[in-house]
C-alpha cells in the first residue's frame, strides 16, 4: 500500500508478544498465585491488542491511561477469582475492554451534555488526524476513484451497494442477478488494482525522492 | 457456544466484520483473536483503509452524478427571464429562511424496524432540521435497564450518542441533534457496549 513505507500507527506502537499461543489456564493460575512474571506475561500478550481495540473505538487521547486501567481491571478480576473458566481468558478480556469503551462513551456523553447545549454536535472520538494522515487518506480515495471511474456503470453500482450502502453479498447478488463467484471476482479485481496502483505510486514517489537526493548531493 | 477462529480471518472476513455483516458469535471470535494476533491487527487496518477509500470514492462519484443531473442552468432561457426568475427565487428563499429561523421544524416521531434493504419510497423518514423521537423495535433482544444509542452517518462517523430505556417491545430515544438530509444508521447497544441491533434512518 501507498503508506506502508513510512506510516507509523500509534495504535500498534508496542513490542511483540513473546508467546503466540499460551496456555491460558496456566497463566491465570500464575496470576492468582501472585506471580509477578505472570502479570508481565499477561501484559505482554494482551496490551497490544487492548491498545489496538481502544484506539479504534476511542481514539488516541489518553490511550496509555485507558490501556493501563483496562489491564488493572483484568488482573484484579483474575485475582478475585471472577474468571471461572480460565481457558476463556480471551473472551473475558474482550468483555472487559468493551465495557470500558461503553463506560468511556457514557462519561463523555454525560459530560458534554452538562457543558454544551443539547443539540450541539457530540463527537465522542477525537481521532486527531494530522495533515499527513489526511493527505494519505486523500491519496487512497483518489486511487479508488481512479479504479471506479474506469469500470462500467453496473460494476460501479455493485461496489457502491457493497461499500457505500453496506448491502450484503447475498442481497446484491439477488438484486443484481449475480453469482457469488462473479461478485467475489469483481471485488477482488478492484482491490488488486487498488494495491497495484498504490505500489506503483509508492515506487514512483520513492524514485522521485531518491533522484532529488542525488541531484542535491551533486549540486 | 462460541464460533472459534482456528486460523487467521481472511481479507473478505475482515471486510464483513468492518461492514457489520458478521454474526454476533463470529464478531466475538474475531475480536478475541485480534486481541492477541499482531498480523491480523495489521491486516484489519489495511482492510479498513480499502473499505474507507472505496466508500468515500463511491460517495463522491454518486454525489457528482446527482449534481450533474441537476444542472438546470444549462437550459437556454432569455436573460430577462433569468433575472426575473432569480428575483422571485431570492424572495422565496429569504422568506423561507426567515420562516425557518423563527419556526424550526417540528420533531419527527418514527418507529424503526431493523432491516438492511434499501429504503423504498414509502419508508418512514424524519424531516431535515428536526429532532427525532425514535421507537426502536427491541423484540427478542436481551432486556436491560439501559441502552446506548448511536447515530452514525454513512461514513461511520458518530453524529449523536445517548442513553435510552426500554418501553415494552421498543426502546425509545430522543435524538437531540437536528439532522441534515441524508441516510444514517441508528445503532442500539447494550449498556456493556455490545451492538444489539442496527436501524436505517432516512432524513429528507
DSSP string, chain B: ------SPPPHHHHHHHHTT-S-HHHHHHHHHHHHH-HHHHHHHHHHHHHHHHHHHHHHHHHHHHHHHHT-GGGS---HHHHHHHHHHHHHHHHHHHHHHHHSPPPPEEEEE----SPP-TTS-EEPTTS-EEEEEE-TTSPP-S-EEEEEEETT--EEEEEEEEEETTEEEEEE-S-PPSEEEEEEEEETTS-EEEEEEEEE-
B136 bridge partner residues: B112, B171
Q: Which residue of A has its CA nearest to B131?
A: A119
The three-point CA angle B161-B123-B151 to 5° equals: 10
Contact between residue A53 and residue A97 where contact means Cβ atoms under 8 Å apart: yes
Which residue from A45, A122, A156 is facing B160, i.e. has the nearest CB?
A122
Residue of A9, A22, A52, A103 to mutate, interface with B, max B Cβ within 10 Å = A52
Average pLDDT over residues B7-20: 91
What percent of chain B has a predicted confidence (pLDDT) above 70? 82
Judging contacts by C-beta atoms under 8 Å, the chain B residues touching residue A119 are 131, 176-178
In sequence order, what are the residues at sequence separation of 6 or more whose Cβ sits closer than 8 angstroms to the Cβ of residue A148? A156, A159, A190, B54, B57, B58, B61
CATH 1.10.10.10, chain A: domain bounds: 131-218
Q: What is the mean pLDDT of chain B?
A: 81
The CA distance from B194 to B200, in Å, is 18
pLDDT of residue B108: 87
A126 bridge partner residues: A59
CB contact under 8 Å between B35 and A50, yes or no, is yes
Q: Which residue has the higher pLDDT, B3 or A64?
A: A64
pLDDT of residue B3: 47
Would you call B180 an interface residue with chain A, using a CB distance cutoff of 8 Å? no
Which residue from B32, B58, B116 is facing A164, i.e. has the nearest CB?
B58
Contact between residue B165 and residue B147 where contact means Cβ atoms under 8 Å apart: yes
Judging contacts by C-beta atoms under 8 Å, the chain A residues touching residue B173 are none
Model-level pTM greater than 0.80?
Answer: no
| Local structure of residue A166 (DSSP, 8 states) | -
In sequence order, what are the residues at sequence separation of 6 or more whose Cβ sits closer than 8 angstroms to the Cβ of residue B187? B149, B150, B151, B152, B195, B197, B198, B199
Annotation: CATH topology of B108-203: Immunoglobulin-like (2.60.40)
Judging contacts by C-beta atoms under 8 Å, the chain A residues touching residue B194 are 98
Name the pLDDT band for B52 (thresholds 50, 70, 90). Answer: very high
C-alpha separations of A185 from A74, A151, A178, B3 in Å: 43, 14, 11, 27
C-alpha separations of B76 from A160, A182, B82, B88 in Å: 34, 45, 10, 18
From B27-41, B59-73, B147-161, the region with the lowest mean pLDDT: B59-73
Contact between residue B51 and residue B19 where contact means Cβ atoms under 8 Å apart: yes
| Local structure of residue A10 (DSSP, 8 states) | G
Please give, rounded to a whole number of angstroms, the shortest distance from the CA of A216 to a CA of chain B. Answer: 35
Please give, rounded to a whole number of angstroms, the shortest distance from the CA of A23 to a CA of chain B. Answer: 13
Contact between residue B149 and residue B173 where contact means Cβ atoms under 8 Å apart: yes
The CA distance from A52 to A49, in Å, is 5
CATH 1.10.1740.10, chain A: domain bounds: 10-115
The CA distance from A188 to A219, in Å, is 46
CB contact under 8 Å between A141 and B38, yes or no, is no
Name the residue with cell 473499505: B51
Q: Which residue has the higher pLDDT, B89 or B37?
A: B37
Q: Where are the domains of chain B?
A: 11-67, 76-102, 108-203
Which residue from B35, B46, B158 is facing A93, i.e. has the nearest CB?
B35
pLDDT digits (tens, 9 = 90+) for B89-147: 888 777 776 666 555 678 888 888 875 444 455 567 888 888 888 988 887 777 666 78
pLDDT of residue B158: 87
Would you call B191 an interface residue with chain A, using a CB distance cutoff of 8 Å? yes
Establish whether this prediction's ipTM goes over 0.85. no
CB contact under 8 Å between A164 and B154, yes or no, is yes
Contact between residue B18 and residue B53 where contact means Cβ atoms under 8 Å apart: no
DSSP reduced 3-state for A118: coil
- Residue A99 buriedness (CB in 10 A; 0-12 / 13-18 / 19+): middle
Question: C-alpha grid cell for residue B2?
Answer: 462460541
pLDDT of residue A131: 82
Find the helix packing angle between B24-36 and A89-115, rounded to 10°: 100
Closest Cα to residue A104, out of A62, A167, A44? A62
- Residue B188 buriedness (CB in 10 A; 0-12 / 13-18 / 19+): buried
- Residue B195 buriedness (CB in 10 A; 0-12 / 13-18 / 19+): middle
Residue of A137, A163, A171, A183 to mutate, interface with B, max B Cβ within 10 Å = A163
Residue of B193, B194, B199, B201 to mutate, interface with A, max A Cβ within 10 Å = B193
Query: Which residues of chain A, if any, have pLDDT below 50?
Result: 1-10, 12-20, 119, 122-127
pLDDT digits (tens, 9 = 90+) for B77-92: 566 677 788 888 888 7
The pLDDT of residue B153 is above 50: yes
The listed CATH number (3.90.1150.10, 1.10.150.530, 1.10.3720.10, 1.10.10.10) that belongs to domain A131-218: 1.10.10.10
Annotation: CATH topology of A10-115: Rna Polymerase Sigma Factor; Chain: A (1.10.1740)
Judging contacts by C-beta atoms under 8 Å, the chain B residues touching residue A145 are 57, 60-61
pLDDT digits (tens, 9 = 90+) for B178-203: 888 888 999 988 877 778 888 889 88
CB contact under 8 Å between A17 and B19, yes or no, is no
Would you call B49 an interface residue with chain A, using a CB distance cutoff of 8 Å? yes
Between positions 94 and 113 of B, the ones with CB within 8 A of A are: none
CB contact under 8 Å between B161 and A122, yes or no, is yes
CB contact under 8 Å between B50 and A194, yes or no, is yes
Residues in chain A, overall count: 219
Average pLDDT over residues B34-38: 93
Residues in chain B, overall count: 204
Amino acid at each position: 500500500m501507498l503508506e506502508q513505507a513510512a506510516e507509523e500507527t500509534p495504535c500498534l506502537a508496542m513490542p511483540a508478544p513473546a508467546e503466540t499461543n499460551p496456555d491460558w489456564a496456566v497463566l491465570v493460575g500464575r496470576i492468582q498465585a501472585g506471580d509477578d512474571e505472570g502479570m508481565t506475561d499477561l501484559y505482554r500478550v494482551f496490551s497490544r491488542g487492548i491498545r489496538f481495540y481502544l484506539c479504534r473505538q476511542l481514539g488516541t487521547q489518553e490511550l496509555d491511561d485507558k490501556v493501563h486501567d483496562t489491564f488493572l481491571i483484568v488482573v484484579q478480576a483474575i485475582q478475585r477469582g471472577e474468571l471461572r473458566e480460565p481457558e476463556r481468558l480471551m473472551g473475558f478480556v474482550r468483555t472487559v475492554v468493551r465495557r470500558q469503551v461503553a463506560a468511556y462513551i457514557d462519561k463523555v456523553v454525560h459530560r458534554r451534555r452538562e457543558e454544551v447545549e443539547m443539540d450541539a454536535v457530540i463527537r465522542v472520538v477525537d481521532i486527531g488526524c494530522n495533515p499527513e494522515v489526511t493527505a494519505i487518506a486523500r491519496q487512497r480515495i483518489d486511487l479508488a476513484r481512479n479504479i471506479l471511474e474506469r469500470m462500467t456503470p453496473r460494476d460501479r453500482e455493485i461496489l457502491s451497494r457493497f461499500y457505500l450502502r453496506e448491502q450484503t453479498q447475498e442481497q446484491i447478488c439477488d438484486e443484481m442477478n449475480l453469482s457469488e463467484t462473479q461478485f467475489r471476482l469483481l471485488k477482488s479485481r478492484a482491490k488488486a488494482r487498488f494495491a497495484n496502483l498504490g505500489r506503483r505510486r509508492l515506487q514512483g514517489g520513492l524514485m522521485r525522492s531518491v533522484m532529488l537526493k542525488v541531484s542535491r548531493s551533486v549540486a | 457456544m462460541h464460533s472459534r477462529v482456528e486460523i487467521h480471518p481472511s481479507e473478505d472476513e475482515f471486510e464483513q466484520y468492518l461492514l457489520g455483516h458478521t454474526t454476533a458469535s463470529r464478531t466475538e471470535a474475531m475480536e478475541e483473536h485480534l486481541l492477541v494476533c499482531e498480523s491480523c491487527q495489521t491486516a484489519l487496518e489495511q482492510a479498513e483503509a480499502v473499505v474507507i477509500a472505496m466508500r468515500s470514492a463511491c460517495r463522491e462519484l454518486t454525489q457528482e452524478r446527482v449534481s450533474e443531473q441537476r444542472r438546470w442552468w444549462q437550459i437556454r432561457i432569455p436573460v430577462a427571464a433569468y433575472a426575473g426568475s432569480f428575483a422571485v427565487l431570492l424572495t422565496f428563499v429569504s422568506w423561507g429562511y426567515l420562516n425557518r429561523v423563527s419556526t424550526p421544524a417540528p420533531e419527527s416521531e418514527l418507529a424503526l424496524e431493523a432491516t438492511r434493504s434499501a429504503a423504498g419510497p414509502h419508508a418512514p423518514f424524519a424531516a431535515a432540521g428536526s429532532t427525532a423521537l425514535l421507537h426502536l423495535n427491541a423484540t427478542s433482544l436481551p432486556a436491560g435497564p439501559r441502552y446506548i444509542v448511536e447515530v452514525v452517518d454513512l461514513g461511520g462517523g458518530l453524529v449523536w450518542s445517548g442513553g435510552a430505556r426500554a418501553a415494552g417491545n421498543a426502546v425509545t430515544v430522543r435524538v437531540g441533534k437536528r439532522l441534515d438530509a441524508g441516510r444514517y444508521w441508528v445503532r442500539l447497544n447494550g449498556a456493556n457496549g455490545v451492538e444489539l441491533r442496527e436501524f436505517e434512518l432516512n432524513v429528507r
